[in-house]
Amino acid sequence: MWVDLVQVIFAYLLGSIPFGLIVSKLIAGIDPRTSGSGNIGFTNVLRVAGKKAGVYALVGDIGKGLFATLVIPIVFLGHVTEPRNLLFIGFAVVIGHCYSAFLAFRGGKGVATALGAILGIDPALGLMLLGVWLIAVVIWKFAALGALIASGLLPVIIALWDPSIDKLVFGCGIALLIWIRHRDNLDRLRAGTESHIGPKSR
């Protein structure tokens, strides 16, 4: 039991690492929390710090989700990580990204980290969600809208793909968290002031 708890705590701390903030400062000398939308995630980093920083932020955020669900269980050699606890690990790394222990419990919106975690838990499910996000972004050009659509459909896709109660609860939790973190984006989408995806004009 204590091993399961340690894995979840470690996943939360891993998720708390603010890659978007780190790469923005290192590459562009910019704090994304004080520029653009104020978010430390891929879209805002891309917009305010450029493509290179945006790509590194995206890779870091997806990577920590993947690391949490693929590597953390392996680190505890000899311990069998139950499927339910793997879902806890996945949720914990996303919570860490959204409410970072290193940023006074503030953080990003969880989309890339959630994608990484889901890819580690169920690659096919993760690829389906990525496909939904890409289609939505290509059609409407809003990263936030793509995230809202993909996360909103997550419980539906799980119900059709692998309708276990544990996964459904996980999917609903991730969807709710992402929608909560996108409250400001929802307001801007309604007002017609949400920025399209892409780097900030110079």
pLDDT tens digit sequence for 66-123? 999 999 988 876 565 688 999 999 999 999 999 999 999 999 999 999 999 999 999 9
Whole-model pTM? Answer: 0.94
Assess if residue 201 is contained within a domain. no
pLDDT beneath 50, residues of the chain: 199-202
Assess if residue 62 is contained within a domain. yes
Assess if residue 79 is contained within a domain. yes
End-to-end CA distance of the chain: 53
Assess if residue 40 is contained within a domain. yes
Assess if residue 202 is contained within a domain. no
Q: Give residues with Cβ within 8 angstroms of 151, minimum separation 6.
A: 111, 114, 129, 174, 175, 178, 179
Assess if residue 196 is contained within a domain. no
Assess if residue 145 is contained within a domain. yes
How many domains is the chain built from?
A: 1
Which of 118, 96, 101, 102 is closest to 167 using CA atoms? 118
Domain ranges, residue 69: 2-191
